[in-house]
């Protein structure tokens, strides 16, 4: 295969990789689990200067669905919350405190209280379930259209470059072309299906927790009604 054709294949592969990467980034920002990449766009106004989140905080995952964000200076707490809110208003925020060990210059360790912002991903209730699925489908369709356009341009270019090629070379080019398409189509579809499954899992988690809360409330109401009926019965007996 001539070098110029190989270069066209490499150019197409780079384009498809770029579109796939943008698709993956968009999916991670449709937040279900706590994804560090979702915080990359966050900037915090510190003393009149916008700073990236990683420059002015220490970030830790509490669990699959929440972050602990420690400002390097406690006085930046409010600015930190505002910066996160501007990018992800859907995140639940609360200020929490935890004990941390600090050592002085002599190596003496003491415990102090450190405040941090606890970021919790919103639950995937029925309304958010529909919004997320629609958002994922929109991003998928857009990625698919971008890749299709890149393929169409590349096919036209390759058709020009392969005029006069032998049948053997044309078969080889066709095989490599199909292999490239299959590679990136499968990668895109895997991202899509994985995200849909993540949405389903989170929604099922919410449904299970809702069913548990509803059952507990019904049991409490039943117990309350039973207690009220018993008290009324005792009161009637006292009157008689």
In this predicted structure, what is the pLDDT of residue 63? 92
pLDDT tens-digit series, residues 165-197: 888 888 888 898 899 999 999 999 999 999 999
Q: Are the C-beta atoms of residues 150 and 12 closer than 8 Å to each other?
A: yes
Other residues' Cβ atoms within 10 Å of the Cβ of residue 101 = 8
* Long-range contact set of residues 109-114: C-beta below 8 Å, sequence gap at least 24: 114/70
pLDDT tens-digit series, residues 90-104: 999 999 999 887 777
58 token code pair: 């220490």
């Amino acid at each position: 295969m001539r070098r110029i054709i190989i270069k066209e294949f490499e150019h197409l592969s780079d384009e498809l990789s770029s579109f796939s990467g943008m698709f993956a980034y968009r999916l991670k920002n449709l937040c279900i689990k706590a994804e560090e990449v979702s915080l990359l766009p966050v900037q915090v106004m510190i003393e009149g200067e916008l700073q990236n989140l990683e420059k002015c905080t220490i970030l830790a995952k509490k669990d699959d669905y929440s972050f602990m964000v420690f400002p390097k200076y406690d006085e930046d707490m409010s600015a930190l919350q505002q910066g996160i809110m501007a990018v992800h208003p859907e995140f639940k925020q609360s200020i929490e405190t935890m004990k941390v060990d600090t050592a002085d210059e002599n190596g003496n360790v003491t415990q102090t209280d450190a405040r941090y912002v606890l970021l919790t991903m919103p639950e995937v209730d029925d309304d958010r379930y529909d919004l997320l699925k629609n958002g994922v489908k929109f991003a998928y369709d857009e990625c698919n259209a971008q890749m299709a356009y890149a393929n169409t341009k590349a096919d036209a270019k390759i058709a020009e470059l392969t005029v006069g090629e032998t049948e053997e070379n044309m078969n080889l080019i066709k095989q490599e072309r199909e292999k490239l398409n299959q590679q990136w189509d499968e990668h895109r579809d895997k991202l899509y299906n994985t995200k849909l499954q993540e949405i389903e899992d989170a929604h099922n988690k919410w449904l299970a927790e809702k069913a548990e809360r509803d059952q507990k409330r019904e049991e409490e109401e039943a117990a309350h009604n039973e207690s009220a009926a018993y008290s009324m019965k005792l009161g009637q007996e006292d009157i008689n």
